[in-house]
Amino acid sequence: MEIDTALARYHHLQIKEIMPTKEDMPIVCINDSVSDVLNLLRTRHHVWVIDTKNDNNLEGIIRYLDVIDFLLPPSKHKIYMGSSTSILKSIIGGANTVKEILQPNPLTINQNNTVLEVLTKMEQYKVQIIGVVDDDNKLVGEISLKILIRQFMDLCLGPKGC
């Protein structure tokens, strides 16, 4: 298969066709403890936050680097006029639950969108992972640059290759 043919085919794949199952995702509920997040972040680079396991409403994300705010003492946080949120996210500042340390409004894309649309969004926002939601805006998966690379390589390494 020629590279331009492979790319065209690849770009038209729907996200839901290539994303891993939700069971493989790092997910916590909004009222879980911060220690639950830290346990997941030992081996993952992010954790998705939902309201409850039954509803799957996406509330936020906690990335590996976000934990720095949690671990720093309040005296080390940079404070600017009108903001003390990073201090409140520290362990010494009293953060105990996921709700207190999450980054709200994570970037999402609908599962029916194409690979080309997710790549465009990743490039626009300079991110490597995006939450995948259904038509009711419920978290159903995630798509990362790593997954996209793997999918393209699988397509190219098929019977005819690229």
Render 117-157 in DSSP notation, one character per residue: HHHHHHHHHT-SEEEEE-TT-BEEEEEEHHHHHHHHHHHHT
- Highest mean pLDDT (candidates 29-43, 79-93, 111-125): 111-125
> Where are the chain's structural domains?
3-156
Please, what is the average pLDDT of the chain? Answer: 86
Taking the C-alpha atoms of residue 133 and residue 151, their distance in angstroms, rounded to an integer, is 20
CA-nearest of 143, 125, 126, 141 to 56 is 141
Q: How confident is the model at residue 95, as a pLDDT?
A: 73
The string of pLDDT tens digits covering residues 114-156 is: 999 999 999 999 999 999 999 999 999 999 999 999 999 988 8
Superfamily of domain 3-156: CBS-domain (3.10.580.10)
